[in-house]
């Protein structure tokens, strides 16, 4: 598939160039997919002394990992710790919540340890309320996350406006553990680290099928095969021919657009997120952004109702919204527009699907995968290497298809206008405190 180049490709300093697989290989662990998830797992498994092969259909970072918004976020989208505890039980739930909170720290520690040149800044993440009535929601959210050690605090309206650089917000959660980075460089840096630890990486190598041979798996590609005791399928549910129910039918795909403005002026840079934080607000129609190391503002958005022609009509709508949030940018415009596919689970929680013994297919996307895929990938890699389940923060489950999947797959887009309506209603609600 031909993709629009992202802003990250234009400024990436980390390189990746690995040979296609051209023979048969025998390893302990085979990883399908050269995104953050697969590479973090490959790194951990190789560090634990296992032989590892990563097979990537196109190029390292070709999927969501190299084309996302670059935000490193110590939180989950839409849901909180209570939802996690309900879904995973007290013990696993708590260890997963702590994994979420600690995930940004793991990302920045890996970057330091392997010298990954990805413009990373651990300058904090802001979660501002776009409506006065939502400040109480933020207080409840803060309380829930702080019970598990969150380092977030609540900012006043005045402090929020100063730190975001916008009159638009009424209070915010501020968590110093978050930040942002160039995700393509980060993913390539993980590949370099995994290769340095001994993992073999093959680009332009698409896995066409998995065959069971006794206790082992054989992964068939167009030019060779890999035999392995364990398989980690880290394809972000986007290889339906391979996964069957494991990914494609157990998740909902969502095309997300990312857009980068021209380089901001000195004055604009001094007033918009002057502390260098990344931010995502409280809207259903999420407004998220950061300023990358070259000085462009990067933001994202989804097309309501239909994808037809969205590449043309969506950017002007998102530019108008950007100019409303940051009047110092109006009339806002974008230089670079690209898109990628996210995979959503119905409850916004990750899953570790186990289609068959020795074959694991995790899903963490849900729009918050930079930090979470790193942390979960590392745990899965260690577990596959050692067999020790105590480190696993999620239960393994059998793949389950979403009923009426072809309808469910359209629901996020169809519901977006309702979300936008709720966002503007929230602005008119009187705060209850
Ligand atoms: C537009 C967008 C913006 C986002 N913004 C953010 C953000 O700001 N912060 C955040 O935390 N998260 C964000 N996310 C989510 C985050 O990008 C993902 O959760 C994360 O990158 C998923 O990583 P992954 O390794 O699981 O999947 P991917 O990066 O998608 O990697 C899967 C890889 O598998 C390969 N593959 C597929 N099939 C095969 C096969 N048969 N054989 C071999 N290889 C195969 C693909 O080529 C691909 O490279 C965003 C997502 C999108 C789409």
DSSP state at residue 365: -
2 in any annotated domain: no
Residue 252 CA to ligand 1 centre (angstroms) = 14
Q: What is the per-residue DSSP string for 375-414?
A: HHHHHHHHHHHH--GGG--S-EE---PPTTHHHHTTHHHH
201 in any annotated domain: yes
Residue 391: what pLDDT? Answer: 78
pLDDT one-digit tens code per residue, 58-96:
999 999 999 999 999 999 988 999 999 999 999 999 999
Residue 407: what pLDDT? Answer: 81
pLDDT for residue 116 is more than 80? yes
d(C-alpha 76, C-alpha 137), whole Å: 15
Residue 408 CA to ligand 1 centre (angstroms) = 20
What would the mean pLDDT of 127-147 be, rounded to a whole number?
96
Ligand 1, pocket-test mutation among 31, 33, 120, most atoms within 8 A of CB: 33
* Ligand 1 atom at minimum distance from 63 CA: 30
Q: Which neighbouring-strand residues pair with 278?
A: 125
pLDDT for residue 203 is more than 80? yes
d(C-alpha 193, C-alpha 188), whole Å: 9
pLDDT one-digit tens code per residue, 286-296:
999 999 999 99
Ligand 1, pocket-test mutation among 101, 184, 235, most atoms within 8 A of CB: 235
433 in any annotated domain: no
Pocket-forming residues, ligand 1, beta carbon under 6 Å: 32-38, 55-58, 62-65, 67-71, 73, 206-207, 234-236, 238-239, 242, 256, 258, 300, 340-342, 364-365, 367-371, 373
177 in any annotated domain: yes
The number of distinct structural domains making up the chain is 1
431 in any annotated domain: no
pLDDT for residue 365 is more than 80? no
What would the mean pLDDT of 336-360 be, rounded to a whole number?
90
* Ligand 1 atom at minimum distance from 62 CA: 49
Q: Which residues of 207-219 are buried (b: 16+ CB within 10 A; e: fewer)?
A: beebeeeeeebbb
362 closest CA partner among 336, 391, 332, 397: 397
Q: What CATH number is given to the structural domain containing 80?
A: 3.50.50.60
Residue 63 CA to ligand 1 centre (angstroms) = 4
Range of 334's domain? 7-426
Task: Name the pTM for this structure.
Answer: 0.96
pLDDT one-digit tens code per residue, 393-407:
888 888 878 887 778
Ligand 1, pocket-test mutation among 37, 53, 68, 175, most atoms within 8 A of CB: 68
Name which residue sits closest to atom 32 of ligand 1, judged by CA.
235
* Ligand 1 atom at minimum distance from 239 CA: 38
| Maximum alpha-carbon separation in the chain | 67
Name which residue sits closest to atom 21 of ligand 1, judged by CA.
65
1 in any annotated domain: no
- Of 33-42, 336-345, 376-385, 410-419, where does mean pLDDT reach its minimum? 410-419
273 in any annotated domain: yes
d(C-alpha 259, C-alpha 406), whole Å: 28
307 in any annotated domain: yes
In this prediction, residue 253 has a pLDDT band, given cuts at 50, 70 and 90, of confident
d(C-alpha 276, C-alpha 262), whole Å: 17
Apex CA 392: angle with CA 389 and CA 394, to 5°? 125
| Peptide bond before residue 331 is cis, with ω within 30 degrees of 0 | yes
In this prediction, residue 207 has a pLDDT band, given cuts at 50, 70 and 90, of very high
pLDDT for residue 1 is more than 60? no
Apex CA 243: angle with CA 239 and CA 248, to 5°? 65
Q: What contacts 343, CB < 8 A, 6 or more positions away?
A: 236, 237, 238, 247, 251, 252, 253, 254, 363, 365, 366
Residue 187 CA to ligand 1 centre (angstroms) = 10
| Four-CA torsion 195, 198, 199, 202, nearest 10 degrees | 60
């Amino acid at each position: 598939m031909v993709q629009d180049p992202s802003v990250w490709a234009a400024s990436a300093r980390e390189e990746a160039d690995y040979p296609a697989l051209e023979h048969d290989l025998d390893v302990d662990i085979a990883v399908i997919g050269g995104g953050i998830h697969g590479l973090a797992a490959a790194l951990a498994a190789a560090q634990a002394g296992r032989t590892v092969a990563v097979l990537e259909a196109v190029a390292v970072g070709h999927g969501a990992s190299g084309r996302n918004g670059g935000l490193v976020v110590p939180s989950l989208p839409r849901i909180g710790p209570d939802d996690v505890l309900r879904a995973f039980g007290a013990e696993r739930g708590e260890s997963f919540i702590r994994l979420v909170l600690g995930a940004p720290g793991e990302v920045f520690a890996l970057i330091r340890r392997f010298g990954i040149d990805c413009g990373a800044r651990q300058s904090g993440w802001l979660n501002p309320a776009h409506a006065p009535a939502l400040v109480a929601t933020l207080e409840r959210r803060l309380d829930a996350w702080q019970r598990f050690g969150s380092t977030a605090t609540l900012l006043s309206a005045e402090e929020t406006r100063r730190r975001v650089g916008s009159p638009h917000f009424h209070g915010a959660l501020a968590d110093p553990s978050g930040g942002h980075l160039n995700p393509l460089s980060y993913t390539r840096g993980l590949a370099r680290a995994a290769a340095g630890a001994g993992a073999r990486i093959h680009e332009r190598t698409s896995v066409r099928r998995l065959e069971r041979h006794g206790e082992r798996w054989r992964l068939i590609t167009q030019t060779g095969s890999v035999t392995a005791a364990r398989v980690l399928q880290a394809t972000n549910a986007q290889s339906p021919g391979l996964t069957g129910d494991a990914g494609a039918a157990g998740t909902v795909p969502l095309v997300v657009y990312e857009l980068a403005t021209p380089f901001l002026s000195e004055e604009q840079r001094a007033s918009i997120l002057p502390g260098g934080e990344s931010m995502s607000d409280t809207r259903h129609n999420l407004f998220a952004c950061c300023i990358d190391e070259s000085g462009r503002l990067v933001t994202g958005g989804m097309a309501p109702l239909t994808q037809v022609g969205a590449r043309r009509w969506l950017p002007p709508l998102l530019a108008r919204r950007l100019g409303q949030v940051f009047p110092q940018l109006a009339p806002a415009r974008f230089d670079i527009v690209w898109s990628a596919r996210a995979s959503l689970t119905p409850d916004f929680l990750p899953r570790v699907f186990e289609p068959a013994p020795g074959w694991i297919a995790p899903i963490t996307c849900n729009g918050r995968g930079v930090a979470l895929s790193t942390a979960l990938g590392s745990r899965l890699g260690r577990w596959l290497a050692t067999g020790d389940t105590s480190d696993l923060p999620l239960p393994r489950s059998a793949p389950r298809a979403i009923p009426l999947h072809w309808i469910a797959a359209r629901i996020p887009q169809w519901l977006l206008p309702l979300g936008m309506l709720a966002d503007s209603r929230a602005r008119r609600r009187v705060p209850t405190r």
